[in-house]
Amino acid sequence: MKMYETLARELEQHVMSGMLKAGDKVPSVRQLSQQRDISITTVLKAYSLLESRGVIESRPQSGYFVRKATLAGHAAAMPAPMPPTLRPHPVASNVEISQLVLRTLKTISRHDAVPLGSPYPDPTPFPLVRLSHLANNIAKKSSGWGVLNDLPPGNIDLIRQIAGRYFLNGLLVDPAEVIITVGATEALNLCLQAAARPGDTIAVESPTYYAILHAIERMGMRAIEIPTSGTSGMDVDYLESILESGNIAACMVMPNFHNPLGIVMPEANKKKLVEIMTRAKKPIIENAVYNELYYSDTPPSSLKQYDTEGYVLHCSSFSKTLSSAFRIGWAMPGRYREKVENLKFVNTLSTSAIPQMAIAEYLSQGGYDQHLRKIRKFYQQQAKIITHVVRRFFPEACIISEPAGGYLLWVQLPPHIDAMRLYNEALERKITIGPGTIFSNTGKFRNCIRLNYSYSWSKEIQSAIVTLGKIISHYK
């Protein structure tokens, strides 16, 4: 048995023996972690397993308790612990999250508020003036340009530049596989539409980036949330155990600098994920928008590097590294390439040619790598600062992520904290945060928030974090 399964079995035996009675509160996650000298993740996985078996239940803002219904009959009627391959399937659910996300994003984008909740990077370090100048020059020379010149797969010069960047990062890409899209969001939508059908069930991380939930909702599909830890990413073993049911049509993941957790999936897990999905002949849609924003000396590998049969549909964009205004992304859909290209044509016909040409020209002139080195170093410094300040002014019980790249910090607040209440009270003080509820379709992460640290540190940002800490400290 794995450590979390052993822990779950011990706790279940305590319930069976009467040491823990119906309605009793079980030790908090942090308390048990400290007592046993094990990770928070291990305790959470054990509690999640016990919840799935109906042994304990989570009560908002209170913690975990022994379920009363569990002990209604004789103790002997309690089923024995199930091996991992026989664990009860998580419930697939219809996705209905777009209204909540839209409502929060509208307020998060307020220009008069401290943008800790923004999903977008601060555009200040981006070469927007240079890109605009290139775009204007191209526009002047291309007055006769028509929509037929923008047809998929996209501008060939840009496609070659993209393939060249992958080569520099250790992945040989056939330029013929690349399809230019309107940002990564369109790439994700097209790949999902190509890989699955309405009514299908899609495996996603939990928490997951809300744009993935949007795509699933828009397609009339269902989501099944796979536990995702702050150290190893998606629980690949758990995914493998439920793949046998045959109900999962595809998987959508962000293995590098996950939004919102900021983690990198270990190499062994990346390789195993591709292997089990390929063996099952199921596609994986890989969101790689943060891949270039690594803090280490070398770039992370992508799932695409382990793909031997074309089941990985890789999506990315320049929105997080160069310009979110130009909305230029791309897909490398493997065996689904022809279908994605056709869907691109049917759905949006084309991607604007001038932004494509401007970025291609910018990349060809050099300087992009120097630009990336600067913002990587800047984001890494910002991560250290915000982590230090959050630890100082937030309650000691908070669990703070350790991003390996990107510009987002995930904070798990004490169980009794309602992130939506904090979100509303912060907004009244002109501070925005990303409430954890928008990263799940099942009401999880109500006591979690996501913070953006891409903006240059200032008195206003520090004051905002101090204010958040004060608000939290008054919650009972």
**Residues paired with residue 226 on neighbouring β-strands, in sequence order:** 205
Burial status of residue 184 (CB atoms within 10 A of its CB: 0-12, 13-18, 19 or more): buried
Say if residue 86's pLDDT is above 70: no
d(CA 166, CA 187): 17
d(CA 276, CA 126): 39
Sequence-distant (6+) residues with CB within 8 A of 336 are 191, 194, 195, 283, 310, 313
Q: In terms of pLDDT, which residue wins out, 84 or 293?
A: 293
Task: Give mean pLDDT, residues 397-409.
Answer: 94
Instruction: For 127-138, give one letter per residue: b (16+ CB within 10 A) or e.
Output: eeeebeebbeeb
d(CA 284, CA 253): 7
Taking the alpha carbons at both ends of the chain, their separation in whole angstroms is 38
d(CA 6, CA 10): 6
Spell out where 56-200 has E strands: 56-59, 63-66, 93-94, 179-182
Report the half-sphere exposure of 68 (CA within 13 A, side-chain side).
Answer: 2
Say if residue 370's pLDDT is above 70: yes
- Tell me the pLDDT tens digit for each residue of 200-239: 999 999 999 998 998 998 899 999 999 998 888 999 999 9
- Tell me the pLDDT tens digit for each residue of 298-339: 999 999 999 999 999 999 999 999 988 899 999 999 999 999
pTM greater than the 0.85 cutoff: no
**Residues paired with residue 314 on neighbouring β-strands, in sequence order:** 286, 332
Pairing of strands 328-332, 248-253: unpaired
Pairing of strands 201-206, 248-253: parallel
CA distances 455 to 14, 112, 295, 388, 452, Å, are: 49, 14, 17, 16, 8
Token readout for 138 is: 């191209």
Which pLDDT score is estimated for 84? 36
7-16, 63-72, 419-428: which range is least confident on average?
A: 63-72
Which pLDDT score is estimated for 37? 77
**Taking all residues of the chain, what is their mean pLDDT, rounded to a whole number?**
87
Token readout for 468 is: 């958040």
**Which of 15, 101, 46, 113 has the alpha carbon at shortest distance from 431?**
113
Ramachandran angles phi, psi of 135, nearest 5°: -65, -40
Check: CB of residue 222 under 8 Å from CB of residue 91: no
Three-state SS at 449 = strand
Say if residue 74's pLDDT is above 50: no
CA distances 463 to 110, 378, 383, 385, 389, Å, are: 18, 21, 17, 13, 10
Check: CB of residue 134 under 8 Å from CB of residue 362: yes
d(CA 355, CA 341): 19
d(CA 270, CA 254): 11
DSSP states along 163-211? HHHHHHTT----GGG-EEEEHHHHHHHHHHHHH--TT-EEEEEES--HH
Task: Give mean pLDDT, residues 79-87.
Answer: 35
Report the half-sphere exposure of 165 (CA within 13 A, side-chain side).
Answer: 21
Which pLDDT score is estimated for 108? 64
d(CA 405, CA 98): 27
